[in-house]
Amino acid sequence: MKTSHTAAGLVLALGMGAVATTALADDVEVLHWWTSGGEAAALDVLKQDLESQGVGWQDMPVAGGGGEAAMTTLRARVTAGNAPTAVQMLGFDITDWANEGVLGNLDEVAAADNWDDVVPTALQGFAKHEGHWISAPVNVHSTNWVWINKSALDAAGGNAPTTWDELVSVLDAMKANGITPLAHGGQPWQDATVFDAVVLSMGNDFYQKSMIDLDPDALAGEQMIEVFNRMAMLRGYVDENFSGRDWNLASAMVIEGKAGMQMMGDWAKGEFLKAGQKPGEDFVCIRFPGTQGSVTFNSDQFVMFGQGEGNNEAQLKMAAAIMNPVFQSAFNVVKGSVPARTDVSDADFDDCGKKGMKDLAAANSAGSLFGSMAHGHAAPAAIKNAVYDVVTQHFNGELGSEEAAEELANSIEALR
């Protein structure tokens, strides 16, 4: 994967008057939270590509599937005047950092590679700031997936659920068969991921009004109470040891047949593939029942912190490598996501990947492509965190459904 850029010495100098730190020539220090097996394998595709171009990789992994710990670490590094070269980031976190005026400018490589023509508008809303490219999107993840152990599904009747009632029937059958019906990790972002899908299953208009428009009536109304009722039902299918479990360990439960299904974004597929499983044979991928034709998304992007003019060649090289169509295909085949470029072939993708690309394109055309609240693409971090708090309190039995809907509306209203 060749680029037109020649790497030069890299000098880290934030545009906030911070103390400059010198890095090794042709190196990029990368802060990320891709630490699970499937994620690490996907990241290695990028690392090897850059190393083949003479760009060294200084790895700075911070575990935590939702990225909260990584953002805490980043804030400390920036405050100390020692920001990483590149940082994995999501949604409104990108916007927040851009507003601080500390991010680098990628317009040069973006123009050379025609990013404006191939990156979906929804992604550009985060990857650009005041008309300038500030990050390179690696992928598009969709979050309203369900991953089902094929043998467990066959034992439960063999039919993948397409409605809420069918989902409950399958979960009941799995429970009767002696396995944990729903593999889940009790972490706020995981609770919110399931919540996102349940909200979307109530209809596109409801998701728009409640999660994006933040309409008080939608947040406190009967449909939201029903969402929380359904969340309470799902809680009844989770095992007792779910609290604090990392998402990839929940995936492993499904892979090993200890659990029937997991409600998780398409990064979970990377765990199945790394375990040697094949879609359609060992596991089944479906949209959360009731959300067919609609997609909630997030997009991992690598944000480049300001290096000072003439000192960002390694960053430009990294950005060009990320957006290379060959890399976009190779990376997303491993990661479980779909390319951030619309001109990438689906030839190398498995059946779930092809479905993901087709679903994304259809939802984009139909106006049913929504930024995920749970993953920072529907509302700023303060509102997202308020949703996390209420959803997790309810999921842990600390709030009833009516109380949760009222608290959700009140918490968000206080932040607006």
> For every residue of the chain, which 3-state class applies, written as one string?
CCCCCCCCCCEECCCCCCCCEECCCCEEEEEECCCCHHHHHHHHHHHHHHHHCCCEEEEEECCCCCCHHHHHHHHHHHHCCCCCCEEEECHHHHHHHHHCCCECCCHHHHHHCCHHHHCCHHHHHHHEECCEECEEECCEEECCEEEEEHHHHHHCCCCCCCCHHHHHHHHHHHHHCCCEEEECCECHHHHHHHHHHHHHHCCHHHHHHHHHCCCHHHHHCHHHHHHHHHHHHHHCCECCCCECCCHHHHHHHHHCCCEEEEECCCCHHHHHHHCCCCECCCEEEEECCCCCCCEEEECCEEEEECCCCCCCHHHHHHHHHHHCHHHHHHHHHHHCCECCCCCCCCCCCCHHHHHHHHHHHHHHHHCCEEECCCCCCCCCHHHHHHHHHHHHHHHCCCCCHHHHHHHHHHHHHHHC
Non-local (6+) Cβ contacts of 125 within 8 A are none
**According to the CATH classification, is domain 11-141+298-354 in 2.40.30.30?**
no
What are the residues facing 240 on neighbouring strands? none
Domain with CATH 3.40.190.10 in the chain: 11-141+298-354, 144-296+370-415
pLDDT in the model for residue 308 = 62
- 378 forms bridges with which residues in the sheet? none
Looking up tokens 């930024």, which residue turns up? Answer: 371
State pTM to two decimals.
0.83
- So what's the pLDDT on residue 342? 87
pLDDT at residue 24 in the model = 43
**Separation of alpha carbons 316 and 381, rounded Å:** 28
> Looking at the domain 144-296+370-415, which fold is it?
D-Maltodextrin-Binding Protein; domain 2 (3.40.190)
Q: Can you give the pLDDT of all 416 residues of the chain as single tens digits?
A: 333 332 222 222 223 223 233 344 478 999 999 888 878 888 888 899 899 888 899 999 998 767 889 999 999 999 998 899 899 999 999 999 999 999 999 999 999 999 999 998 888 999 999 999 999 999 999 999 999 999 999 999 999 999 999 999 999 999 999 999 999 999 999 999 999 999 999 999 999 999 999 999 999 999 999 999 999 999 999 999 999 999 999 999 999 999 999 999 999 998 999 999 999 999 999 999 999 999 999 999 999 998 766 568 889 999 999 999 999 999 898 888 999 998 999 999 999 999 999 998 888 889 899 999 999 999 998 999 999 999 999 999 999 999 999 999 999 999 98
